[in-house]
Structure 1
């Protein structure tokens, strides 16, 4: 049994954050452990409160896990502050295991989940020790200060992110204008790249998609899959989770973490090598 860890915020509504990560780990048959960086009061309609955890207690949680478990992969979600980011970066660098960074900044309802001073800390401390970073378009723009409108823009932003030291950049294309397809672009430090295309699903129930996608990558990497295969399988996981949504709540509902095991043979991801 492989053990993986999520370092993120708690979502009281259960659709994102620690809760989404642990559900994903369970479905993909790895043992999930967690380090909580903040508590949120939220539901499908939005975030009504955030209570951060002190960086020293984040360190204590992670140290407790490292002293007892052989962890095969780690992911980060909402880290909230520069102090937490620097603590996590230092401790995960010492583990020498794959680190997947989901640079969570804004909740689905528009609320900020990352303090402004923390953005520099991601660039300067976390990405240099990361294996994969998984920004959506707005997050990639914020991290680099570059506007994304074209494929050329995506390539330029990926190049800038790779220069931080991260080994692989996944720029998620859900915010792009194409109405028929969602295309994610993947770039490696060795110069290789590819893209993944799936049909765009018309659904408001997409809360926690970024958390779930990065958690699936973490689970597959932790299980021993090569990076490219782990990314493709994770894309199938989140595509099915959106396709067979649960329609819970009155706002942006959660995705369906149960769908992959029931429908994975039906999901096709079109790969374009570059």
Structure 2
């Protein structure tokens, strides 16, 4: 059986903990085939982002066209988008796809606190949210985008992630146009090595959708994957290090 073809539209993380590096690792370990359209090259490590070089929008779309026209795509994951121009160009191209689930992780700030999207880019997220099957903001991102109401406004599903919340218990809420569909609560895993959690979760969900999972089932498998990866964090770097690699996860998930 051929693997699900997952197109990742995101930035590169030189430290390997987040971005397309985390996405490729996740898709591969969950049994999918990862393809990429790189939106930006970053110089970053566990301490922060030292530099960002955006890829021109035309080249981002050219990467998309190249793989879509030849290999095909079963699901799309969008991460760091780079610029408002790129957001618009990506939305134009994705609007032409039929029956392809899209998971949009509206990356605004890295785990280290570095800003990865300016106001114009955040404003341009609206078209991507309207196209998305699922949007996966953390608490600050959800507030910046307009709160729970974006599910109704853009007729989409929103996985409101609780990792930035206070306390020992964290809750993720799946919100649809008609309200909260499901919530998951778990004890916080005590580690500072959380770099790439959002990228990894969104990629894992996209892989599940590309493999034919229903949305809730894809989210549940992805959450288990992320939690296992957090437990396996190897402790690299002086700051927020990368998560671990749950080899063989898809074989027992």
TM-score, with length taken from structure 1: 0.88
Aligned length: 250
User: 1:167 deviation in Å?
Assistant: 2.1
2:236 match: secondary structure: coil
- Change in Cα spacing, 1:20 to 1:219, as seen in structure 2 (3 Å) is same
The alignment status of 1:218 with 2:201, answered yes or no, reads no
1:137-161, CA deviations, whole angstroms, 9 ceiling, x for partnerless residues?
00001111xxxxxxxxxxxx22x21
Task: Tell me, yes or no, if the aligned pair for 1:241 and 1:259 is still in contact at 8 Å.
Answer: no
Structure 1 segments (4+ residues) deviating >6 Å: none
Task: Tell me the equivalent position of 1:31.
Answer: 33
The match for 1:253 among 224, 228, 241 is 241
Work out the CA distance in 2 between the residues paired with 1:113 and 1:260: 32
User: CA RMSD, aligned part only?
Assistant: 1.6
Work out the CA distance in 2 between the residues paired with 1:186 and 1:235: 12
Work out the CA distance in 2 between the residues paired with 1:245 and 1:251: 13
The match for 1:105 among 108, 126, 130 is 108
Task: Tell me the equivalent position of 1:231.
Answer: 219
Correspondence list, 1:124-273, <5 A: 125-144=127-146, 157-158=147-148, 160-178=149-167, 180-191=168-179, 193-258=181-246, 261=249
- Change in Cα spacing, 1:262 to 1:5, as seen in structure 2 (3 Å) is closer
1:189-231, CA deviations, whole angstroms, 9 ceiling, x for partnerless residues?
2445110111101101000000000000011111110111001
- Change in Cα spacing, 1:263 to 1:256, as seen in structure 2 (3 Å) is farther
Task: Tell me, yes or no, if the aligned pair for 1:3 and 1:70 is still in contact at 8 Å.
Answer: yes
- Change in Cα spacing, 1:202 to 1:2, as seen in structure 2 (3 Å) is same
User: 1:7 deviation in Å?
Assistant: 0.2
Task: Tell me the equivalent position of 1:88.
Answer: 90
Task: Tell me, yes or no, if the aligned pair for 2:29 and 2:247 is still in contact at 8 Å.
Answer: no
Task: Tell me, yes or no, if the aligned pair for 1:130 and 1:166 is still in contact at 8 Å.
Answer: no
- Change in Cα spacing, 1:60 to 1:229, as seen in structure 2 (3 Å) is same
Give unmatched runs, 5+ long, in structure 2: none
1:94 match: secondary structure: coil
1:71 match: secondary structure: coil
Work out the CA distance in 1 between the residues paired with 2:250 and 2:102: 28
Task: Tell me the equivalent position of 2:12.
Answer: 10
Task: Tell me the equivalent position of 1:114.
Answer: 117
Give unmatched runs, 5+ long, in structure 1: 145-156, 266-274
Work out the CA distance in 1 between the residues paired with 2:152 and 2:17: 33
Task: Tell me the equivalent position of 1:45.
Answer: 47
User: 1:101 deviation in Å?
Assistant: 0.3
